[in-house]
Structure formats: C-alpha cells, structure tokens
Structure 1
Amino acid sequence: MAAKQVIGIDLGTTNSAVAVWQDGKAQLIANKYGARLTPSVVGLDDAGHLLIGQPAHTRLTTHPHLTQASFKRYMGSEAALRLGTQTFRAEELSAILLRQLKEDAESWLGQSITDAVITVPAYFNDVQRRAVKNAGKLAGLNVLRLLNEPTAASLAFGLLENREQKYLTFDLGGGTFDVSVIDMFEGVVEVRASSGDVQLGGDDFSEAICQWMLNQQPELKAALPAVKPILLEQAERLKLALSNLPEASAELIWQDRRWCWSMNEEQLDHCCQTLIARLQQPVMQALHDARFSLQELDHVLLVGGATRMPLVRQAVARLFGRFPRHDLHPDEAVALGAGVQAGMVMEDAAVEEIILTDVMPFSLGVETAKESYGRLEEGFFLPLIERNTWLPVSKSKTVSTVADNQTCVLLKIYQGEGRRVKDNVYLGEMNIEVPPRKAGEVSLDIRFTYTLDGLLEIECQHNESPNASRMVIEKVPGQMSQELIEQSLQKLNDLKRHPRDRQENRDLLLRGSRLFEVLLGEERAWIDNVMSVFEQALASQDERRIADVRQKVYEALSQFDERGSK
C-alpha cells in the first residue's frame, strides 16, 4: 500500500509555496494562477469576499484597510490585525493562506490532502511554533513536523550536491533572518547550530528606505498614515531596482502634487547600515556554538528573497572573505527542502538513506533563587537544555528547597538565553508539594524532554517520594486555547469566499480542464464553450445563476465517458 501523500509548505512572510515529493524529487506546485509563489497576503474585496495571494496583493496600497501582509511576524502574539470591521489573529490569517495552499495542492495532485510538513524560522520560540501548528489545524491540516527554514534549504542543497562538506545557510527572508551551520557527511545532514533574528528581514530594508524618503520630503509626514502604504510600495520598488542598477528613482502623486526621489547605492548603504550590522551577530553566534571557524566552512549558501540585494551579498562576502553561493532559487529553496522532508516522512525509498539531525534553537530551563548579600533573591534562570543541543533530548538537574518548612515548590518554565527570567519567554508552571523540612534538605530532580515534534515534557520528583509529577507544555500565554480555536474555525468558515474558490465549483472547473486536455477538434471547442459559460456565471457571483449553470455543466460533462469521447 502506497504511503499517504504528505505536502511540504514554506509559510513565508512575503511569499509562500507548497511542494510535494514525487518521482524521486521535490517538485513545487503551481497555484491556480500558474505561479509557484503565492504572496502571503490576505484581504477582502468590496463585497466582503475573501482574497488570497496575488488578488489581495494588488490591493495592498489601494485598500490597506481591507488587506493584511507580513502577519507571520505576529505569530504567537495576541495582536489584533484588522480586515475591514473584523479582527484576526496572525494564526487565523495564516490558516486562510495555508488552506489556499492545501487546495492548490489538492487540485494539482487530484486527491485530498490532510498531512503536511511546515517550515518555520529556526529562531522561532516554542510559543511561535505552536502558533504555526494551530494555524495548520485551523486550515484542516495535520502538521506532522515543523522544519526549520535554513535546515529545509540545506536539505535541498544537500541533494543537489551530495558530498561531504561543511557550510553555513544564510537565510534572509521578508520578515526573518536565520543562520544554520551544517555538517554533511555519509548521507547525514547534521545541523550543528542555529541562530537568527525574527524581527529582521527584507521588510525592514523597505521600511528604512521609506524613512529615508520621508526625511527627504518631510512635508509628507503630515499625511501619515494615509500615504504610508504608497510610500512603502515605492520603497520596495527602489529596493528592487537597486538590485540591478546603480541608481533608481521613484515618484508619488499626492493631492495633485508630484514628489520625486533619486537614490543610489551609497545612499541605500547608508540608510541600511544598522540593519546590515545586525546580520553579523547571529552568524558569529552560530559559528561559536557549532565550534566552527570561518576557515572551516566550504560554502556559504544564500537563501531568501532579501539576499538578492547586492548590499546584502557584499556584506556577506566581506564577513566571510569569499563570495557566497546561490545555486538554488532564493525564494524556492525552503519549499523544496520541505518537499524533501515530506518524502522522508513518507519513507520514500529515494531518500531513505538521508538522515537529518536538528538542534534546539533556544535554551530551556526553570526559575531559581540565589542568596545575595544575606538575602534570597528570585528571578534567576537555570538552563536544563542548552541552545543548539541535538534533538530529541532529555536532560535533568537537581535543585533544593530554599526556605525552612517549605511545603511546595512552584516550578516556572522559561525559554531563552537571559540570565534573568524576565528576559526570557514564560512557557508554564507546575506546583510540587514537598514535606516540610529545613531549607536544602528536600531535593528535587527536574527532567526536561524535548521531541522532534516540539513537545516539551517536564518531570519533577523530590527525594522522599517514589512518584514523579509530569506535565506537557501545551498552553502558554499568547497561545490560542481550544475554545478559541473552535471559535476561529467557525469564523473562518463563515468568511465569504469567491464562488470560484468553493470546492464544488473548483472540482467542476478541474473536471472541465481535464476533459479539454484529452479531447480534440469540435469536442474540445465544445468543452471550451461550456466552461466559458460556467466561468462567466462564477464571475457574476450570482448564487442562483451559478447553481443553475453548474447543474447544466455537470450534466453536459457527464455525457463523456472516461476516455473523453461522446
């Protein structure tokens, strides 16, 4: 029996893509517009119908109040993002996008899909990763694995150039920056260390250019925020133009007045200096944690759309003392790697020899107290699992009570690198009852176990008890509760979708397209006319007309047998 089909999804800040493992290789799936990249934009048209991808992207500047982009940056937060009069969480908007990618894959494959691998920035914390899983759930997907984006790109690169090598994946996308150090040998793709910045990407370079434009024409500041979406669009155009030209210009017509800008490479470099400087620290951190030197690297691999900028490539070349490689399409590499991982999950024979190891991007630990100047001070972070430890992992440490006759210990769990817990991400807590003894007489063994699927289990047992208390971290601040998930499912189902996007209409359009492919001559022309009538009915968005025409088209297509002959 064939393995159940699994798809790989790159849920990007700027663009998203879906891939599948077929015929011994990862293949990108084109969306209904024939493009392999789907803009990560969700919006509503003037009638309240849902717009996803390119149709929504075209309205970003003209209808900013009805459009949302770059919502990936808010994953795991309680930020309220508006579409008209409605508000959405980032998980909900991501779910709308994921649902579209799922449907595109189903149309392309000709079968229903439930299982997926979804990529995430390597530096996403536990809360953000769970938010991605919830988005998948809202989209009707069973998320089998979350795969770090630079690891996904490394998988795609590893298959392209299958030999022993050490390389660094430099992944600068629209909203996030990730670095992974990879050691590849004997079919093993071993991630030695990861680092990054989840608030640094191509969007920030566009914002820096936008601020430069405002500084050049300060009178426009009075028109904010109305003019901001148009300025950002012009800033994006300047950024793209300067990827190919030494100088570029932009103009804006606002309130019957023309505003003009001219920007060269030197000016771009100056206004983005701070952002370029931020790229260095994660690189050096990853190399330090991997215990690699710059000289030990065989390659530096560029991934992510923002690495097209000459300014970024020059910065990377200066940092590493060599020219980076960009063998893979920067916008497609992560999705292709997700497709490879999908093949591995399906246990396809073509990738059964590949072994992938990944690491924990953040440290995990508990809050402890320390004696300072004769008094007890709380709020210190005690790591149990250090960052860049290979997964899966299970580690333990022993702590003791700090007060006489203490009857309970409140174990607070955090994720991060700060010495104080206030600088880290709170994940949860558990209350452990202990017998009243003198301070230090009761010891507790704490064990953290972290799986490849991102589940953290905590066990705690004190020295006078044969039983351990256990807890799996599932609900944390900022994360959607099960009740909220159910409410969101209903809200997403109630959103108006254009008739052409409804499953019964999509199926009939697909059926007509397939018949057109197999028929010839007059029969093919007849099918073309029938489908044109149906498409015109869909465009009218008149439900009664659509239902009537759909029935007639269904009956017409049913006249053909499986071979497509009348």
Structure 2
Amino acid sequence: MSETPTIGIDLGTTNSAIAHAEAGDIEILPGDTGDRTTPSVVAFDEATEQALVGRQAKKQAVSHPDRTVFAIKRFMGSDEVILLGPRDCAFTPEELAGLILKKLKHDGEAYLQESIDDVVITVPAYFNDRQRQATKHAGAMAGLTVERIISEPTAACLAYGLQWADDATVLVYDLGGGTFDSSLIDITDGLFEVVATNGDTRLGGNDWDALVVEWLEDRIEREYDVSVTDSPQLESRLFDAVKTAKHELSSRRSTTISIPFLEHDEGTTDVEIPIDRQRFDELTSDLLETTIDRVERLFVETGYRPQDIDEILLVGGATRMGQVRRRLTDRFGVTPSKRINPDEAVAIGAAAQAAILDGELEHGGERHPRQNAQHLPSPSDTVVMLDVTPQPFGVVLIDQETYEPYYHVVIERNTPIPARESYVTTTAREYQSEIEIQVYQGDNSRIEENELLDSFELGPLLERPAGEPTIEVTFILDENGILNVHARDVDHDVGDEIEIQPVFGFTDDELTVMQQNLPPIR
C-alpha cells in the first residue's frame, strides 16, 4: 500500500464505518455530524442534481421515499437498475455504493486532514465472486484503490484476536441489517485461520422489521380500520416505528409502537399498539432458527463440536436483539462475548488488515495516539490471516459416455485462499477446433441452479479425434476471493487465460467515466 493513511471500511447494509490504523492504534473516524457510523442510505435531489448520503438522506426518506434507497448492498453484483426521483434517474448498485464510499472518504479526509487513497473493504463472507468484484468497482468509482477485500466475520475476529491475544476457537455470528454470516475461526500464535463459513446474503435485521411491520399493518387495519399497504410514505413511517420498538425491546420487556398523525383518506389517526418481547420473538422465531441452522452446518461440515468453542463473537447491530444472545447460549452452551462493539468491530478489523499489509502491526513505531483510538498491541510474530472461499467454483463438462453436460466442482467451498486447482478435460466431438469453458459458482448439482460467472473459448485447437486432446484448466483464487482461470492444450502449447469478470462488469475506462459522472455529494 502507499504512504497515505492506513484505512479500513465496513460497507454495511444499514450503516457503514471507516477506521484508521497508525502505529498499532486504530480509531473509528467520525462523520461530519460526529457520529461513528454513517447510515448506508442514498437520496437524489433532482433540483440541485446532488446526492444526499447518510443521515441527511435518512431524514428525508419519510417525505420522499421515491428519492431514497436503503440496503443497496443487497443488490450488489446484480444487473438491477435503481430508479430515483420523479424523473426516474437510473443508478447501478455499484454507483450508489460508490456514493456511500465517497462520503466515507470525504469525511475521513476531513478528520485526518490527509488524502485517502488505498483501503481494505469488508464484504459478507458469503458474497460470491460477482459481488466481490462489484464492491471493488464501487471503490474505484469513489476514487479509492481497493487493496484487499476481506470477509466481515474474519475482520471482526481479527479485531477481537489482536486485542485479546489468547489462542482460541471463535464462532463469529454476524447478523447485520441485510446479511447473515457465521464462521469458525482458529487463533493460534498470531495465525487467524478461517475453518469454515456459511451464510445468507438475503437475510438480516431488515427481515425481522418486515415481519413485524406485516403484523402491525394487520393490527392497524383491524383496530383502526386504516389500510397503509398502498402508501410508500406510510410504510416508511411504520418501518421507522418498528425499528424504534425493536431497539427498545433489546433492554425492555415491553414497549408501545407509537405513530402520531398517521395519514389516511379520512384524515389522521394516532396509532398506539403495544408489543412485548415474547410477541416479537414469536413473530420472528423462524428467521432466528434459520441462522442457527446455518451455524449448525459449520459443525457438520468441519467435525467441530459446540464444546470446542471458546468464544462466540457477536457482530452486526441486529445481534443486540435479546433473542440472539439467549438462543446462542441455550444451543451452544457459551455466553456470547461483549468484548467488542458489534457496530464497529468489522471496520476496526478492516483497518487492522490494512495495517498488516502496511507492516504496521509487525513493526510498531513511534506512537501518537488520538484520544479515542483503540490500541492493538504489536505481536512479536507476524500476524497471518487465512480465509476460505464461501462457495465452490466449477465448470460444465461433457460426459464422454452419455454426452450429457454435468457440473464439475474445481475448488470446493471452505478451501483456504489463495488457492490453485487444476483439472484435465478433452473434446467431445470429432475434430473439434475450439472448446468452451463455462465457469460457475455454486454447489448445486443442477447446472442452471449455479451462477454463471463467465465463459471463454480455447482455440484454435489442432483438429484431432474426440477425446484425444489434453486440455488443462487451472483455477487461481486470489486473496480477495476473486477468480482467474487459465486453460491450455498441453500437447500443442495453445493457451488462453482470463480474469473472470462478471457479465455485468465494467472496464477500467467505463469505471473512470462512471466515477466522473457520479453526482456531487451535498
């Protein structure tokens, strides 16, 4: 990395954070409002053609839901186009994520009084190749060089392990606003080794809110004879009220969902509906059990037992729900740790990884800590982090007997990265001059149920009988979990190689243009 500040960013579904490491001290950098996290919310003001990001965007969401987008992280890596405003201004998910990163960059530079160029950005452990590429693209649009992409549970464990240097086996339970991850991580003498990971990129605290909102809408209709399902403005107010109630139930047994002056066709109504912790838990228990099932798979896949766990680390704001701590304690017999802030752990770990790349945690140096900095002791040995790939990579091959296509896994899920695996294939037709290589990510035996990352053709091949050519294909997975594929005709030295780019992907020139065309932030 360059001589610019050592920076880590947690690009979250609900909130994002930026952290700075210097000589073993890591601090969360506050935004222009003094807050330590920035809402991952973007709005577009057509009158000024400027973007609102963070708290400003969130404040105007109730009055202008059509100009506001939440949880953009859930769309990363898709070909979704988001339309904002009455004139339906079109944005890609990468552009909107780029605006959030641009805001973090701007606030960080204002606080440090230095330019920020290089960063480490975290992603959910279960993000696939396409989503990781999209995150790098978003960083480029914000004017950042993304030096490394690391998984959120790994970053959180890194923050934990550097602060409390004891060897341990840690279960990371990471429930954010829009994604869920679980990872088993072994810490031994400065080595952070991810054993396995599992998760769901479409499951998070927002889903808890949505279920309670459905219940609330039904209660309002029955008790007040008011329907709110067709009004985005009213829906937005309900979600805000439910989020407030959820936060209150983290420390209280009961609360009241209050929505004053709820507008409807006949006028306005003051809504007050009580809800207690038991009702909240009943409404959302299926979601919680889905996360527990994901954790259970880690033990099945690895042979670890619950009694092998020394610590359960909670990450993500949604883990403040009391049901999470209680259920994990009941199931695994370990009370989750409160040692680190679940909202800040990932950003701190990202900055720690940036410091490792810079050599900060190895060599120490002269210390000038700021008042709010967190000190991470420099270990006597080199800190090493070994992550795994969350989902397998494979190709389509043709059965030489039935001539039917089938899915062949080349790199298994939970393989340590970086990784390199090869396989040998051949032609299926007589005198075939080219061979197509289709690269997928996923673990379903049905080809169409996996995600096509890219495809390319190797050729021209020397024409020979079917089955005679020896084609070697090599998958190389880098430290970011991003894939390169090489292929060659072993006998006749014909070769080709590609870095797998998502089918929606952007060239460097396109990224430069998109960066220049991003609306300014107000």
Q: TM-score, normalised by structure 2?
A: 0.90
2:404 alignment partner, SS class: strand
Separation in structure 2 between the aligned mates of residue 199 and residue 222 of structure 1, nearest angstrom: 22
1:254 to 248, 251, 263: 263
AA in 2 matched with 1:17: A
2:403 alignment partner, SS class: strand
2:337 alignment partner, SS class: coil
Aligned to 1:34: 34
Tell me by how many angstroms 1:404 deviates. Answer: 3.1
Q: What is the correspondence of 1:78-93 to structure 2 with a 5 Å cutoff?
A: 78-84=79-85, 85=87, 86-93=89-96
Tell me by how many angstroms 1:245 deviates. Answer: 1.5
Tell me by how many angstroms 1:334 deviates. Answer: 0.4
Aligned to 1:24: 24
Separation in structure 1 between the aligned mates of residue 521 and residue 489 of structure 2, nearest angstrom: 56
Pair 1:232-2:232 in alignment = no
Separation in structure 1 between the aligned mates of residue 154 and residue 210 of structure 2, nearest angstrom: 28
2:454 alignment partner, SS class: strand
CA separation of 1:113 and 1:225: change in aligned 2, threshold 3 A: closer
CA separation of 1:355 and 1:336: change in aligned 2, threshold 3 A: same
1:172 to 170, 175, 190: 175
Matched-pair contact (CA < 8 Å) for 2:418–2:481: no
Q: RMSD of aligned C-alpha atoms?
A: 2.0
Separation in structure 2 between the aligned mates of residue 87 and residue 77 of structure 1, nearest angstrom: 14
Tell me by how many angstroms 1:314 deviates. Answer: 1.8
Structure having greater relative contact order (Cα 8 Å, sep ≥ 6): 2
CA separation of 1:155 and 1:497: change in aligned 2, threshold 3 A: closer
Matched-pair contact (CA < 8 Å) for 1:6–1:342: yes
Aligned to 1:271: 283
Higher helix share: 1
Separation in structure 2 between the aligned mates of residue 463 and residue 120 of structure 1, nearest angstrom: 38
Aligned to 2:162: 159
AA in 1 matched with 2:57: A
Q: What is the correspondence of 1:105-504 to structure 2 with a 5 Å cutoff?
A: 105-218=108-221, 219-221=226-228, 223-252=230-259, 253-255=262-264, 256-348=268-360, 349-350=363-364, 351=378, 353-370=382-399, 375-378=402-405, 380-433=406-459, 434-473=461-500, 475-482=501-508, 484-492=510-518, 495-498=519-522
User: Residues 253-302 of structure 1, C-alpha deviation per residue, up to 9 Å, x if partnerless?
Assistant: 22322333221222212211221121023212233333322111111111
Tell me by how many angstroms 1:241 deviates. Answer: 1.6
Q: What is the correspondence of 1:38-77 to structure 2 with a 5 Å cutoff?
A: 38-45=38-45, 47-48=47-48, 49-77=50-78
User: Residues 19-66 of structure 1, C-alpha deviation per residue, up to 9 Å, x if partnerless?
Assistant: 111232211111111111111112235743432211111112222122
Tell me by how many angstroms 1:355 deviates. Answer: 1.1
Tell me by how many angstroms 1:400 deviates. Answer: 2.7
1:158 alignment partner, SS class: helix
1:279 alignment partner, SS class: helix
CA separation of 1:278 and 1:450: change in aligned 2, threshold 3 A: same
CA separation of 1:183 and 1:467: change in aligned 2, threshold 3 A: same
AA in 2 matched with 1:245: R
User: Residues 535-558 of structure 1, C-alpha deviation per residue, up to 9 Å, x if partnerless?
Assistant: xxxxxxxxxxxxxxxxxxxxxxxx
Q: What is the correspondence of 1:480-559 to structure 2 with a 5 Å cutoff?
A: 480-482=506-508, 484-492=510-518, 495-498=519-522
Aligned to 1:554: none
AA in 2 matched with 1:468: G
Matched-pair contact (CA < 8 Å) for 1:68–1:82: no
CA separation of 1:159 and 1:497: change in aligned 2, threshold 3 A: closer
Separation in structure 1 between the aligned mates of residue 237 and residue 356 of structure 2, nearest angstrom: 44
1:248 alignment partner, SS class: strand
1:413 alignment partner, SS class: strand
Separation in structure 1 between the aligned mates of residue 420 and residue 75 of structure 2, nearest angstrom: 30
Matched-pair contact (CA < 8 Å) for 1:26–1:337: no
Separation in structure 2 between the aligned mates of residue 98 and residue 300 of structure 1, nearest angstrom: 30
Separation in structure 2 between the aligned mates of residue 204 and residue 323 of structure 1, nearest angstrom: 25
Matched-pair contact (CA < 8 Å) for 2:126–2:181: yes
User: Residues 123-159 of structure 1, C-alpha deviation per residue, up to 9 Å, x if partnerless?
Assistant: 1101111111011001000100011100000000001
Matched-pair contact (CA < 8 Å) for 1:4–1:346: no
Unaligned runs of 5+ in 1: 499-566
Aligned to 1:537: none
Tell me by how many angstroms 1:427 deviates. Answer: 1.1
Separation in structure 2 between the aligned mates of residue 183 and residue 290 of structure 1, nearest angstrom: 12
Unaligned runs of 5+ in 2: 365-377
Separation in structure 1 between the aligned mates of residue 310 and residue 383 of structure 2, nearest angstrom: 20
Separation in structure 1 between the aligned mates of residue 211 and residue 166 of structure 2, nearest angstrom: 40
1:376 alignment partner, SS class: coil
Tell me by how many angstroms 1:340 deviates. Answer: 0.7
AA in 1 matched with 2:423: K
Matched-pair contact (CA < 8 Å) for 2:41–2:71: yes
Q: What is the correspondence of 1:9-20 to structure 2 with a 5 Å cutoff?
A: 9-20=9-20
Deviates more, 1:295-304 or 1:210-219: 210-219
Tell me by how many angstroms 1:222 deviates. Answer: 5.2
CA separation of 1:233 and 1:466: change in aligned 2, threshold 3 A: same
AA in 2 matched with 1:472: E
Separation in structure 2 between the aligned mates of residue 467 and residue 455 of structure 1, nearest angstrom: 25
CA separation of 1:43 and 1:455: change in aligned 2, threshold 3 A: same
Tell me by how many angstroms 1:304 deviates. Answer: 0.6
Separation in structure 2 between the aligned mates of residue 258 and residue 2 of structure 1, nearest angstrom: 57
Matched-pair contact (CA < 8 Å) for 1:303–1:326: no
Tell me by how many angstroms 1:377 deviates. Answer: 2.1
1:232 alignment partner, SS class: helix
Separation in structure 1 between the aligned mates of residue 383 and residue 499 of structure 2, nearest angstrom: 30
Separation in structure 1 between the aligned mates of residue 382 and residue 402 of structure 2, nearest angstrom: 57
Tell me by how many angstroms 1:478 deviates. Answer: 2.9
Separation in structure 2 between the aligned mates of residue 410 and residue 223 of structure 1, nearest angstrom: 49
Aligned residues: 492
User: Residues 156-206 of structure 1, C-alpha deviation per residue, up to 9 Å, x if partnerless?
Assistant: 000121011111111101111111111111111111111111001111111
Matched-pair contact (CA < 8 Å) for 1:138–1:485: yes
Deviates more, 1:50-59 or 1:213-222: 213-222
Q: TM-score, normalised by structure 1?
A: 0.83
Separation in structure 2 between the aligned mates of residue 158 and residue 377 of structure 1, nearest angstrom: 49
Separation in structure 1 between the aligned mates of residue 410 and residue 162 of structure 2, nearest angstrom: 35
Larger radius of gyration: 1
Tell me by how many angstroms 1:313 deviates. Answer: 1.6
Matched-pair contact (CA < 8 Å) for 1:131–1:480: no
Separation in structure 2 between the aligned mates of residue 7 and residue 354 of structure 1, nearest angstrom: 18
